[in-house]
Chain A
Amino acid sequence: MADLRANQAEMLIDDAVLGAGRSRARTVGGAVALRVRRVVASTWLLAVLLLGWQLYATWRPSVFFPPLDEVMTRFREDWLSGPATRLFLSEQFFDAAVPSLGRLARGWGLAVVVGIACGVLMGRSRFIARAYSPTMRFWMAVPNAALLPIAVQIFGVRDSMNVFLIFVGAVGLIIVNTADGVAGVDEAWIRSAHSMQVPTSKLYLQVIIPAAMPAIMTGLRVSIGIGLILMIISELYATTSGLGYQVTLYQQQFRYIGMWSTFVLIAVIGLLLNGALGIVERRVLRWQRRSGLGAF
C-alpha cells in the first residue's frame, strides 16, 4: 500500500519536472504542471509525515494514538455530517465550535480596539510611555494562564471568564507592538503633515496609524495565536460548552478518537484564522515593498 503511494508520488514529481520543462513554451498545460510541481515540492514533507503517522499507528495499535484514516472518518462524522443548507456543518459543530469562536471574537475584538487605542497613546506621549512601560513589561511577563484562577474568582464559570482571559492575553501584545510602531513613525512625515496643516484626526488616521501598520499587524498575528491558546485552556479548565469542553468530555468518556477529531478541528480553525489574517495583512500592507522574508 505504502509502496504504491510512494510510486504514485514519484510519478507525480516526474510529471511535474517534465511539465516544468514544457512550461517554458507558455502553454496552459505547462502552467498547470508548473503549479502542480510547486505544490508537490512544498507539501511532500507534510504528506510523508502524515503517512508515517498512519503506518506507525496501524503497526503499533494504541487507543491513545489512532491511525489517521480513522481520525478523519470520525472528523467527518463529528463535524461535517450536517445538511447542505448549513454548509454541511453538524449539530455538534454549532454546539461546540460556535460558542468557542464567539468568545474568541469578543475577547480578541475588544483587545484589538483597546490595544490599538492604548498603544497609540503610549507611542505618542513620552510621559505615558515612561510611566507605564515597566507595568506593561510586568503584565506581559505574567504567564497568562496563571490568571485563570483569578478569572474564575472574578467572573465565575461563565462566558465572561473566557472572554476576559483572551482579552487580557491579547491586549498586552497589541499595545506593545502598536506603541513600538507609533513611536517609530518617521518624524519628518509628522512634521510635513503639520506644515500642511493636516487636522489631528486626519494626522492619526491617515499618517500615523498607516505608518505603524506593519508593527500593529505583527501584534495582531501573534495575539490571535495566544488568544486561541487561552480560549482552549480556559475551556479545558472550567466551562460547560466549547471545543475545550468537548475535548474534556471525550477524555472522560474514553472516546479518544473523538479527542483527535476535535484536535483536527482546532488545527483547521487555527490555520483558517492565520490564513485570513495573512490575507488582511497583504491587503493592508500592499503599499509596502515585500522583503525576501515576506515571500517565504
Chain B
Amino acid sequence: MAKATAMSAIGVASMVVAWVLLRVFDLVPEASLPWPTEVAAAFPRLFRDDGFRQGMLDTLGAWLLAVAITSVVGVAVGLLVSTTPGLTRPSAVAVNAFRSIPATALIPLAILVFGLGTSMKVAVAVYAVFWPVLINTVYGVVSTEPMRLDAARSLQWPWWRRQVFVILPSALPSIVTGLRLAVGTSLVVVISAELLGARSGVGTVLVAYQQALAPEVVYAGTIVVGLFGLALYTLMVQAEARFITWVPRNG
C-alpha cells in the first residue's frame, strides 16, 4: 500500500516537474500556462468564492437529477424492450440512430426550448446518457445464459420469478457498466451546457474567471472539478465491487 502511494507520488511529481520545465524554458506563454505555485495559491481564493461553491452545488444537483432519471427510466425501458421478443432488434436500430447525434449539438436547441435553468442541463444530460444505459441493459438481458433460463423454466418458475432471480442478476453487471459510463458522461455534458450559457453552475464560474484573465484560478477550478469526477467514479466502482459479488472480475 505504502509502495503504491510512493509510486503514484513519483508519477504525479514527474508531471509537475514537466510543468515546471515548460515554464522554466518558457515554451508556452505565461498567460496560458501559469506557474504551478500560482495555481496552488489560487485554491484558497477559489474556496472563499461563494459563487464557485454555489456553482459546484448547482452542477452536482443537475448531475444527480440526470443520473437518477436515466437510471430509473433507462433501465426500465431497457428491461421492457429486451424481454419482449421482436422488440429488441428494432429498438437497437432506433437507439443507434438517435445516439449518433452528440448531445452537445443539441444544447442550442435545449436552450431555446428549456431556457437557461437547471431543466435545460438535465434534459441534455439525460439525452446523452439515456441511450448508453438502455443499450447496456439490453446487452445484459440478451446475454443471459440460456441454460439458466431453461433450468428456471423446468423448475416451473413463474414469469416474474425468472425476471427477478435469473435475468436481473445476470444483467446487472452490464447495467452497472452503463450507469458508470453515465456518471462520467452526464457530468461532462452538464458542464458543457454551463460553458455555453447556463445561468449558474461551475462551468459558468470558470468562463467568468477566464474572461477576467485569471488563468491560475481556471486551472485550480478544473483540478477541483476533476477531483470531484474522480471521487464520483471511485464511489461508483466501490459500490459495484461491494454489491455485485457474484461475477468474477479480473484485476
Contact = CB atoms under 8 A, between A and B. Distances in A.
Interface in B220-242: 221-223, 225-227, 229-230, 232-233
Interface in A91-112: none
B12 interface: yes
Contacts of B139: 293, 296
Contacts of A121: none
Q: Considering residues A225, A233, A251, A292, which has the most beta carbons from chain B within 10 angstroms of its beta carbon?
A: A233
B155 interface: no
Nearest to A156: B32
Contacts of A43: 90, 93
The contact size tier of chain B is 35 or more
B96 interface: yes
A149 B210 contact: yes
Nearest to A184: B250
Q: For the side of the interface on A, what is the size category?
A: 35 or more
A46 B188 contact: no
Interface in A226-278: 228-230, 232-233, 236-237, 243-244, 247-248, 251, 256, 259, 262-263, 266-268, 270-271, 274
A233 B32 contact: no
Interface stretch (A1-9, A17-25, A136-144, A189-197): A136-144
Contact of A148 (B90, B103, B195, B215): B195
Interface stretch (A77-85, A125-133, A205-213): A125-133
B91 to A, nearest CB: 6
A267 B106 CA distance: 11
B109 A142 contact: no
B32 A41 contact: no
Given A43-B90, A45-B90, A296-B139, A135 B12 contact: yes
Contacts of B92: 42, 296
B142 A153 contact: no
Contacts of A49: 94
8 contacts: A132-B11, A142-B226, A143-B191, A150-B222, A153-B32, A228-B102, A259-B109, A292-B142
Interface of B: 4, 7-8, 10-12, 14-15, 28, 31-33, 86-87, 89-94, 96-97, 100-109, 112-113, 139, 142-143, 184, 187-189, 191-192, 195-196, 202-203, 206-207, 209-210, 215, 218-219, 221-223, 225-227, 229-230, 232-233, 250
Interface of A: 41-46, 49, 64, 127, 130-135, 137-150, 152-155, 184, 225, 228-230, 232-233, 236-237, 243-244, 247-248, 251, 256, 259, 262-263, 266-268, 270-271, 274, 292-293, 296
6 closest A-B pairs by CB: A270-B100, A142-B226, A45-B90, A131-B11, A141-B229, A141-B230
